[in-house]
Amino acid sequence: RLLRKAYDLLESGERCGLKIANALETEAWEHAAPAFPCNVGPDQVAAHLSPTDAEPADIRSARLVKIDFGVHVDGWISDAAFTYVFDENCNRVARAAYDALYEAVHVIRPGTCVAEIGKKISDVAKRHGVKPVSNLGGHQIHRYMLHAGLFVPNVPEGRGVVDEGMLLAVEPFMTDGRGHVSEGTSVTIYSLERRRARSQNARKMLEYIESRFKTLPFARRWIEKEFGKGGWLALYELVKGGSLRQYPILLEDRGSVVAQFETTVYVDKDGAEVIVDVFEMGEW
């Protein structure tokens, strides 16, 4: 429902990433809670860009944009994403991500090796003449742990095996570039790593983070909203002291566009039950 809201906003002409993120997060807080900040990824930005007041993610000149968002209820998380295409020349890479997700979900069942899932995604990429992003992939989800346990690759590698009862985020990333991402310098997302602070302001911020978000990722702008611009010093202290983990923006190595589709599935004895239906957003 929330991703559909983002899709409808884009369809109506909204091109400010910050407004889209705020709309989704505000509604999430009304019914549950965000599992992580809304990611708005134009073109070569693969992941970890959550808009700020200073950098609101103007996507008017983007060729495509990825909206990645999740919610949780008492720590139980759903995670999903879709790609919205502005430039028809990007249809191929977006369609590859969409098809790869659809086909990957249908090979998942107890006993499936993650390399088999990665091979399916890689085969779909080859069929569309694009590349999977080799150093990104899906992940197992635990309560209050967005990335836990099993890694679900976009290429045929890994020895992990899917078990009944697992909750998995499956997220093919496709590109017409190199097929690899690297960290940029911008950081807009953090999570709690350990509980240590020296100054009173840092301790107060740490207490707020632990009570509000626990181990889940949070946005810098959420902290600014609570503590004002003056909270920067306390945030910097927590980062420098190793209390917070940073999530740098991830960029495609050649600056090529990256497309993504993602859903969360529950693995039962018969296969993968889709928790979040993103397939209705695959219309070109």
Q: Are 79 and 38 in contact (CB under 8 A)?
A: no
| Active-site annotation holder among 25, 43, 79, 237 | 79
Q: E strand or H helix at 202, and its extent?
A: helix 200-212
Q: Are 175 and 131 in contact (CB under 8 A)?
A: yes
Beta pairing, strands 173-175 & 131-132: antiparallel
Is residue 277 among the annotated active site residues? no
Beta-bridge mates of residue 147? none
| Active-site annotation holder among 25, 43, 68, 237 | 68
Residue 277 token pair: 């239906």
Is residue 79 among the annotated active site residues? yes
| Active-site annotation holder among 48, 72, 128, 139 | 139
State the Cα–Cα distance between residues 138 and 158, nearest whole angstrom: 12
> Whose CA is closest to 244, among 235, 233, 253, 232?
235
User: Cβ atoms within 10 A of the Cβ of 239, count?
Assistant: 15
Is residue 128 among the annotated active site residues? no
State the Cα–Cα distance between residues 265 and 134, nearest whole angstrom: 21
> Whose CA is closest to 257, among 191, 195, 175?
175
Is residue 53 among the annotated active site residues? no
| Active-site annotation holder among 14, 103, 116, 147 | 147
Is residue 31 among the annotated active site residues? no
Distance of CA 74 to the CA centre of its chain: 20
State the Cα–Cα distance between residues 247 and 184, nearest whole angstrom: 10
3-state secondary structure of 229: helix
| Active-site annotation holder among 43, 171, 237, 252 | 171
CA angle (109, 113, 114) in 5-degree steps: 100
> Whose CA is closest to 79, among 142, 30, 27?
142
Is residue 171 among the annotated active site residues? yes
Catalytic residues: 68, 79, 139, 147, 171, 262
